[in-house]
Amino acid sequence: MIPKDINLKAVLFDMDGVLFNSMPYHAEAWHKIMKQHGYNLSKEEAYMHEGRTGAGTINLICQRQYGRDASPEEIETIYKEKSAEFAKYPEPDPIAGVWELLQKVKAQGLTAMVVTGSGQLSLINRLDHHFPGVFSRELMVTAYDVKHGKPNPEPYLMALEKGGFTNKEAIVIENAPLGVEAGVAANLYTIAVNTGPLPNNALLDAGANALYPTMQALCDNWDTLLSK
């Protein structure tokens, strides 16, 4: 159950791995394009960086391999190619259970917001198609809004500001360790849903307040979670 001092008004949803089953394609695209540019980034490691901005991931790998930041041109080229590669893959399906959960959230009069480090327009533009009437563009936080990205709390703090909510009026739903860290760092109650290949401990160690194995399990337990 969420803490009693939370007066819930908004639910902040991460996008990749929470709304869409898009992480396998992201991991594949990162691995392939980074390799073409001479960088080592395995698909498995890509899951550990999930939630960072593209620039953040590229810089981190460049620092590790060459001890320097990537140039702005290099970042732009690699991220553009990675996005184009991602767009070649089949359209990712919404994660099972998420539509049902969003209907509950809406029926309870709560505001649903998307808070993502992604700048993947092909996916952001499909939010309305898959989840009609749920998310408004004005309340969205994407890679285009933030400077730091997750695990920095900035994206979630910006979401609170955009929506006019306090940290006691919103909760976070995340699937990645860095995303959980960002939610916790923003002093928000953060629910982890382990939709990927990482062990549960990766999410619990990041500070998750609750953990569910699937979005369907979260949806099925939603009313219990919110009961006071």
* Binds Ca ion (CB under 5 A): choice among 6, 10, 12, 17: 17
The Cα–Cα gap between 178 and 118 comes to 13
* Per CB under 5 A, 119 contacts Ca ion: no
- Containing H/E element for 113? strand 111-114
Q: Positive or negative, the Cα torsion across 91, 97, 98, 99?
A: positive
Say if CB 167 and CB 187 are below 8 A apart: yes
Q: How far apart are CA 143 and CA 54, in angstroms?
A: 8
Is there binding between residue 14 and Ca ion (CB under 5 A)? yes
Rule CB under 5 A: say whether 202 interacts with Ca ion.
no
Among 115, 159, 176, 218, binds Ca ion (CB under 5 A): 176
Secondary structure of 122-177 as H, E, C letters: HHHCCHHHHCCCCCCHHHCECCCCCCCCCCCCHHHHHHHHHHCCCCCCEEEEECCH
Q: Which stretch binds Ca ion (CB under 5 A): 4-12, 16-24, 56-64, 70-78?
A: 16-24
Question: What is the total count of residues that contact Ca ion (CB under 5 A)?
Answer: 5
Asked if 16 touches Ca ion (CB under 5 A), the answer is: yes
Site string for Ca ion, 52-71 (x = CB under 5 A): --------------------
Q: Which stretch binds Ca ion (CB under 5 A): 126-134, 170-178, 194-202, 204-212?
A: 170-178
**Residue 175 is a binding residue for Ca ion (CB under 5 A):** yes
Which residues sit at the interface with Ca ion, rule CB under 5 A?
14, 16-17, 175-176
